[in-house]
Structure 1
Amino acid sequence: MVEEKQIFTALKEYFGYDTFRPLQGKIIDSVFEGNDNLVIMPTGGGKSICFQLPAILLPGTTLVISPLIALMKDQVDGLQANGISAAFLNSSQTEAEQQGIFDKVAKNEIKLLYVAPESLQYIDALFSSGNISLIAIDEAHCISSWGHDFRPAYTQLGYLKNRYPSTPMIALTATADKATRKDICDQLNIPNAKRHIASFDRKNLSLDVRPGTKKFEQITAFLKGRKNESGIIYCLSRKNTEDLAAKLQSKGYDAEAYHAGLSHTERTRIQEDFINDKNQIICATIAFGMGIDKSNVRWVIHFNLPKNLEGYYQEIGRAGRDGLPSSTLLFHSYADVIQLQKFAETGGNSQVQLAKLDRMKQYSEALSCRRKILLSYFGELITEDCGNCDVCKNPPEFFDGTITAQKALSTIFRLKEQEPISMVIDVLRGAHNSNVLEKGYQQLSTFGIAKDISWRDWQQYLIQLINLGYVEIAFHDQNKLRLTSLAKKVLFEKEKVRLADVSHVEITKEPQVAEKKVENTLFERLRKLRLELANEEELPAYLIFNDATLKEMEKQRPMTDEDFMQISGVGRQKMQNYGYRFIKEIIAFSKEKREKKVRKKSSTYKETYELYKDGLSVEEISKKRKLAVTTIFSHLAKLYDMDKDVDLHNFVTKKELKAVKKAKGELKDPTLKAYYEHFEESIDYWTIRLALAIIAKEG
C-alpha cells in the first residue's frame, strides 16, 4: 500500500496542488487497494488525476483507453509538461514512432500509455508479461447504448477484465444517468466496482435559456466586452456553423466554423488554433469538444436545442473548467424540437431518445431553478434555488401548490410507479379511455381527484415536480414516473411545495450584455507572458498554467521561488521551467504600479501647490479640484514637509500650536484620533495635522 505522504508529495510535485478536490483522495485510495472503480465526475471536476497520480506511484504502466486523438495528445502534452513520462499510440503515427514507444514500454520507461479502443489489438502482445498496473477507461459512457455518445468500438472493452483479472480498472465519465452507470459496469465486467459519484453542481456556471428569436442580435449583445475570452457556439447543422462564423467575422470577432464536412487537416488546424488561443470563437456541430481539455473556455452558447440533457450538461461543462465564473446561454425553438424528433425516430433506441428529447424540451421551458433540474436528472437532489440561472434571477409568480403536488404524488404511488406522465394525468382527471378502464385504474381512490385542472396545466405541474426533484423518469423502463426521497416528505411529513403559476409562462428577457473589462491588469500581463511561452514551446497556453493559477498569482504576487511554489497549480517541473519569467513579470508590474502611484501623488500635490501660489483659499482649491477640504490640507502639510513655499502658520493659531505641542509630550498614542479625543473634539483633525507638521519641522 502506498503511504499517504507519498501521495501528497506526488500531488504537489507533479500537479502543483496541496489538497485534493472532493472524492479524489477517496478514489485514489480505492485504486491503491486494488478495487475496480466507476467515477462519475463533472467536466472540470478533476477526473484525470484519479488515475494519473496512481500511475506515477504504481510499478508498471497504466493503460488509458481514450476515444479521440486530440484528447490523447492534449493529456499527454499536459503530463509531459508536468514532468511525467507519457505517450499515446494511434493511426497518425509512423511505424518507427510506434516501435519507439513499444521499446520504452518494454523497458518500463512510460507511466501512462494512451490508446484508442480500435488500436488495442496491436498492443496486446506488448503487455503479455503482465506489466499493466492499472487500466483506465476514459469517457466510459461511450460503451453504453443508453448513453448520449455511444461508440461501437467501446463494446469490445469487456475482454480487458477477463484478460487481466487482477489488474484494477477505473471507468470515468462526466455524464451518466442511472441506467448508463449500470450498463458501463456490466459491459466492462466490473459489476462490483466501487461507485464514486461527485456532485454535478458547477456553481461557477451561470445558466441562461432564451427563446430562439433574434439569435444573432442576442449573441452579439452577449459577446460585447468579451473579445479576449474563448467560447464555443454549438449548432445543429453545418450550414449554421458557417453562416454564424461568417457573420461574427464581419463584426470583428475571431470566429471559425468546425464540422465533420471539413478535411481532417482543416479540423485539426482549427482545433489547435482554438486550444492555443489563436482564435477565440468556434461555431461547431457537436463533433467538436470531446477532445478539448482547454481550461479557460469562458462561455458556451447553444444556438439550437441539444438532443438530451446529458449532452447539454457535458457541452456546457467545457466552460469554466478552471473553476472561474463562466456563462452559458441556450436558445430553443419549436423548429429545433421537430428536427431533433426526426433524428431520434430514424436512429437506434428511438423510444428512449425521444423521451430524453422531451425532457430537454421541458428543461428549456421550465419555470423552476435550472440547476435543480439538471442535478435532479443526475440523481442529486438539492432544496435551495441556485440564484445563478435566469429563472432564479427573474422568477415567475408562485403559489402554494402543496395540495396539487400531494394529489399527483399520491396518484403515482397508487399506480405503483408503473405508468408514464400521460396515464398519471388521465387518472388525476378521471378519463374513461380504454387504457384506464382495461387496467382498472377507475377503482383507485385518486381517480378523478383533480378534474378542475386542464390536461395541459397538469402536464406543466408534473414537469415542475420532476424539475424540482420530487419525481424522476425511468427512461430505461418505458418512461415510468418514480417517486424520489423528496416526495415522501411532501406526502408524509407535511413539506410545502411552491409551484409556478402556469398562466404566467412568458417571461420577457433583455439581451444580456457583458461588462467591459479592465485591460491593464497583472492578470492580462501574465496571460500575455503565458501565450509567449506557449508559442515558444508549441504548447496550449492553459497547459503552462490555467487561468485560476494566474488569478492566484495576481492576488498573491509571489516574488521568490518559495512563494511561487505555494501557488495552487505550480509543481516542481513548472517552477523550474517558468518560475523565473513569471516572477520577473510580477516584480516589474509591482514596480511600475509603485512608480505610477508616486507620479500620481506628485502630480496631485503639484496641482494643489500651483493653485495655492495663485492665491486661492483652501475652500476655493477644494472646489476647483473637486476634492475634500481635508484632502487639500493634507496636500499642504505634505508640500510643507517637502520644503515647498507653504506657510502653515496661516492655518494654525499660536494657541492651537502650543496646545498640540503640550499634548505631544503627554500622549502615549501618537494617532490623530488620540489627539482629537484628547482635545474633546475642540480642535479639528486638519488643524492637529498641520500643527504636528510645523512641530516636526521646527524641532
Structure 2
Amino acid sequence: MPADPVSVLQSTFGFPGFRGVQGQVVERVLAGQRTLAVMPTGAGKSLTYQLPSVVLDGTCIVISPLIALMHDQLRAATAVGIRAGTLTSVDENRQETIARFRAGELDLLYVAPERASSGHFRDLLAQAPLSLFAIDEAHCVSEWGHDFRPDYRLLRPLFDQFPDVPRLALTATADAHTRADILEQLGIPEEGMIVAGFDRPNIRYAITPRDNTTRQIADILAEHPGPGIVYAPTRAATERLAAALSTPKREVRAYHAGLDPAVRQRNQADFVASEDMVMVATVAFGMGIDKPDVRFVAHAGLPKSIEGYYQETGRAGRDGDPAVAHLFWGADDFARARQRIGEVEPERQPGERARLNALGALVETAGCRRAILLAHFGETPPDSCGNCDNCLNPPAAVDATETARKFLSAVFRTGQMFGVGYIEQVLQGQSTERSLTNGHEALSVWGIVGAEEAHLLKPVARALLLRDAIRANPHGGLEFGPAARGLLKGEATLKLVLPPKRERRRRGAAGATPNPIGNPLFEALRRRRRELAEEASVPPYVIFHDSVLRDMATMRPSSLQALGRITGVGARKLEAYGDAFLQVIREAA
C-alpha cells in the first residue's frame, strides 16, 4: 500500500502541510491523472513531483530544459534522501545511472527534452516501471511562450507510448493562450489544469526611468545585502557593469553566452554557492538557477515581454523572504524594440506590438504595478497591492499635453533633423552657435517653455518616444511617428507620471530579509552551514534555508527531537546535520 503523502511530506521534506495548491496537484498525480499546474516561482512546484516519486513505485522521469537546473535539483533531491540521477552530456556516470534505473533504484531521473524525444530513450524506458512524467518549464512547449524550445513539441509520442503513466506539466509563466497550447501539445484535458495564481507578494516591484544606470544599480547593491541578479541587454553591457559595480566587499561577475564555457560554468557555480555575490547577465542566465535566496533582480534595460519580465523577476525571493525587482528603462529601449519588430515576419508583428504596448503600460502607469502584471495573466487583482513603488509612494500625475504639442511643434519647425537636447534648448530659448547659424531663434517655438514648465521636457520626450509619436532617425535626429498626429490635432492627450525623488536607503533597509544579521547565534549557524556545504560540495541553501536557521536561532532547540519539529528539517537532514547545529546552539548558550 502506498505511503501516506502527508507523512512523507513531514518525514522527507520536513513540512507540516501542503502549501497552496500543492495538495490538489499531488492528489491528481497519485490518482494517475494528467495535470497542468501553473504555480508561481517559489510556490513549491518541484515538490509536486518529488513527493509522488517517493510514494509511487517506479521512476519519475523529469524533463527539464537546462543541465544546470537539473544538477541543482539533483542536489536538492539527494539532500532529503530521494534517489535521483541525471542523464546529461556532461555526466561521467551515465552507465551507472542507466544501470540504477533498470534495477529500479531511482525515484527521479532528470533528462533534457532532446534526449527524452529520442527513440533510443523510449526503448530504455520500456525496461523498468515508470511512476510519472513531469515536464518542467512546460511553457517551452508552446510557440506562444517566451522560451519556446522545439524539442518540447516532440515529447507527445513518448508519453503516448506509456498511456497509463500520469503526466504533470509545470510552469510559472503562461498566459491563457500559452496554457491552451500546453494542454493540446502534451495531451492533458482542460479539466486537468490547476492555476494557482501569479502573485508573488514578497517581491516589491519598482520601475524607474534610466538616469546613470551604473549609479542607480550601485544604489540597489548598497541597499540590499545577499545575492542578486542584474540583467543587462548586451554582452558588452554585462562586462562593463560588472567591472563598474564590483568592490572588495561585494563581488560582481559577468555571465553571457560569449564567455569561455569554463569561465561561464565557474561563475554560475560560484554564484549559486555564494551568500552575497551579484551576477550581471544577459537573459541566457537564470532559468537554470534553482537558487532560493536571491534578494534582488535589477533590469538595466527593457525586458522582451511582460512574460519574460515576470519570469526574470521571479528568480528573486524564491525562499519566500522579502525581495526586490527594480527595472530601469529608457525611451530608446522602446525605439530599438520597434525597430526589431519591423524586422520580423509580418504575421508575427501584431503580437510583438501588443507585447511592447503591454510593457509600455507597465512602465508608465501611475497605478499599482502588481495589478497590471496580474491582470495581464487573466487575474482580477485589487487596485492596490501595498508592495510596489507606486503603492508605497504614489507618483504625481500631470496633464502634459500642451508641453507635448510644443515639443512636437519644435521638432517639426526645426526640420525633423535634431535630437532631444537641441529641441529642449530651442524651446527654452537657450542661444547657441548652432541655433544662430540655423536661424532657429526666429522661430515661433523659440523660448516658449518657461522655467516652471522646463522640468517636464525630458519626461515628455521620453513619453513621446515610448508612444511612437517621435522616432530617432539613423542620424540621431527626431522625426514624427504615427502617434504624433493625434496629439497635434487634439485627438489624444498625454498624461505624465512624475516619479517621486528616490531617497537612498541604508544597507538592508528596503525589502530586507527578516534575518537577524549581527545576531551572534544566527551568524554562527550560518558559518557552520558554510563549512558543511563546502565539505559536501553543495550550495549552503541545500543544507538549510535561512528561514530554518532563523527558527533555530529563535527557538534554540536542545535535542534532535525538538530540532526535527522545525519546518524544513526532514529525517535525512536531521540525521546528517542535526548534531552539528545542536552543538553550535549549545556553545552559544
SS of equivalent residue, structure 1 residue 297: coil
Letter in 1 for 2:115: S
On the 8 A contact 1:71/1:290 being kept in 2, the answer is yes
User: CA 1:558 to 1:350, structure 2 compared with 1: closer, same or farther past 3 Å?
Assistant: farther
Letter in 1 for 2:370: R
Residues of 2 paired with 1:546 and 1:19: CA distance?
18
Q: How does 1:359-508 map to 2 (within 5 A)?
A: 359-396=358-395, 503=495, 505-508=497-500
Residues of 1 paired with 2:247 and 2:114: CA distance?
42
Alignment deviations for residues 478-517 of structure 1 (CA, whole Å, 9 cap, x no partner): xxxxxxxxxxxxxxxxxxxxxxx96452123315424458
SS of equivalent residue, structure 1 residue 300: strand
Task: State which of 484, 505, 508 in structure 2 corresponds to 1:513.
Answer: 505
Cα shift at 1:98: 1.5
SS of equivalent residue, structure 2 residue 295: strand
Alignment deviations for residues 621-674 of structure 1 (CA, whole Å, 9 cap, x no partner): xxxxxxxxxxxxxxxxxxxxxxxxxxxxxxxxxxxxxxxxxxxxxxxxxxxxxx
Instruction: Find the counterpart in structure 1 of residue 322 from structure 2.
Output: 325
Task: State which of 277, 286, 294 in structure 1 corresponds to 2:274.
Answer: 277
Letter in 2 for 1:509: K
Task: State which of 258, 262, 269 in structure 1 corresponds to 2:259.
Answer: 262
SS of equivalent residue, structure 1 residue 357: helix
Residues of 2 paired with 1:502 and 1:561: CA distance?
64
Residues of 2 paired with 1:106 and 1:273: CA distance?
34
SS of equivalent residue, structure 1 residue 166: coil
User: CA 1:55 to 1:282, structure 2 compared with 1: closer, same or farther past 3 Å?
Assistant: same
Letter in 2 for 1:152: P
Q: How does 1:521-600 map to 2 (within 5 A)?
A: 521-589=520-588, 591=589
Letter in 2 for 1:339: R
Q: How does 1:110-259 map to 2 (within 5 A)?
A: 110-120=106-116, 121=118, 122-129=120-127, 131-192=129-190, 194-226=192-224, 228-250=225-247, 252-259=249-256
Instruction: Find the counterpart in structure 1 of residue 513 from structure 2.
Output: none
Report percent identity of matched pairs: 42
On the 8 A contact 2:396/2:499 being kept in 1, the answer is no
Residues of 2 paired with 1:91 and 1:322: CA distance?
30
Residues of 1 paired with 2:341 and 2:562: CA distance?
55
Cα shift at 1:398: 8.0
Residues of 2 paired with 1:24 and 1:33: CA distance?
14
On the 8 A contact 2:306/2:373 being kept in 1, the answer is yes
Letter in 2 for 1:111: D
On the 8 A contact 2:103/2:128 being kept in 1, the answer is no
Residues of 2 paired with 1:565 and 1:393: CA distance?
39
Q: Is 1:77–2:75 an aligned residue pair?
A: yes
On the 8 A contact 1:63/1:132 being kept in 2, the answer is yes
Letter in 1 for 2:303: P
Instruction: Find the counterpart in structure 2 of residue 685 from structure 1.
Output: none
User: Which consecutive residues of structure 1, in runs of 5 or more, have no partner in the other structure?
Assistant: 400-456, 464-500, 592-699
Cα shift at 1:197: 0.7
Instruction: Find the counterpart in structure 2 of residue 403 from structure 1.
Output: none
Choose 337-346 or 536-545, whichever is displaced more: 337-346
Residues of 1 paired with 2:494 and 2:556: CA distance?
52
Cα shift at 1:342: 3.3
User: Which consecutive residues of structure 2, in runs of 5 or more, have no partner in the other structure?
Assistant: 399-459, 467-492, 510-516
Cα shift at 1:16: 1.0
Alignment deviations for residues 120-157 of structure 1 (CA, whole Å, 9 cap, x no partner): 22321112246111100000000111111111111111
User: CA 1:347 to 1:254, structure 2 compared with 1: closer, same or farther past 3 Å?
Assistant: farther
Cα shift at 1:164: 1.3
Instruction: Find the counterpart in structure 2 of residue 448 from structure 1.
Output: none
Choose 139-148 or 549-558, whichever is displaced more: 549-558
On the 8 A contact 2:393/2:500 being kept in 1, the answer is no
Residues of 2 paired with 1:24 and 1:583: CA distance?
31
Residues of 1 paired with 2:128 and 2:569: CA distance?
35
Q: Which has the larger radius of gyration?
A: 1
On the 8 A contact 2:223/2:508 being kept in 1, the answer is yes
RMSD: 2.2
Residues of 2 paired with 1:117 and 1:503: CA distance?
47
User: CA 1:198 to 1:324, structure 2 compared with 1: closer, same or farther past 3 Å?
Assistant: same
SS of equivalent residue, structure 1 residue 261: coil
Task: State which of 54, 74, 93 in structure 2 corresponds to 1:56.
Answer: 54
User: CA 1:185 to 1:115, structure 2 compared with 1: closer, same or farther past 3 Å?
Assistant: same
The structure richer in helix per residue is: 1
Residues of 2 paired with 1:192 and 1:199: CA distance?
17
Residues of 2 paired with 1:559 and 1:346: CA distance?
66
Q: How does 1:563-642 map to 2 (within 5 A)?
A: 563-589=562-588, 591=589
Letter in 1 for 2:267: I
Letter in 1 for 2:114: E
Alignment deviations for residues 246-273 of structure 1 (CA, whole Å, 9 cap, x no partner): 0012575200000000122111111000
> Which one scores higher on RCO, CA 8 angstroms, separation ≥ 6?
2
Q: Is 1:298–2:295 an aligned residue pair?
A: yes
Letter in 2 for 1:533: L
Task: State which of 91, 99, 106 in structure 1 corresponds to 2:102.
Answer: 106
On the 8 A contact 1:35/1:193 being kept in 2, the answer is no
Alignment deviations for residues 226-252 of structure 1 (CA, whole Å, 9 cap, x no partner): 3x4100000110011000000012575
On the 8 A contact 1:345/1:354 being kept in 2, the answer is no
Residues of 2 paired with 1:21 and 1:372: CA distance?
23
Letter in 1 for 2:390: V
On the 8 A contact 1:306/1:312 being kept in 2, the answer is yes
Cα shift at 1:540: 1.0
Letter in 2 for 1:366: T
User: CA 1:342 to 1:587, structure 2 compared with 1: closer, same or farther past 3 Å?
Assistant: farther
Query: Under a length normalisation based on structure 2, what TM-score does the superposition of the two structures give?
Result: 0.79
SS of equivalent residue, structure 1 residue 224: helix
Q: Give aligned pairs, total.
A: 487
Instruction: Find the counterpart in structure 2 of residue 676 from structure 1.
Output: none
User: CA 1:347 to 1:529, structure 2 compared with 1: closer, same or farther past 3 Å?
Assistant: farther
SS of equivalent residue, structure 2 residue 298: strand
User: CA 1:123 to 1:367, structure 2 compared with 1: closer, same or farther past 3 Å?
Assistant: same
Cα shift at 1:222: 2.1
On the 8 A contact 2:226/2:275 being kept in 1, the answer is no
On the 8 A contact 1:133/1:167 being kept in 2, the answer is yes
Letter in 1 for 2:105: E
Cα shift at 1:371: 1.0
Letter in 2 for 1:85: R
Cα shift at 1:553: 1.8
Residues of 2 paired with 1:124 and 1:360: CA distance?
42
Residues of 2 paired with 1:206 and 1:267: CA distance?
29
Residues of 1 paired with 2:98 and 2:365: CA distance?
53
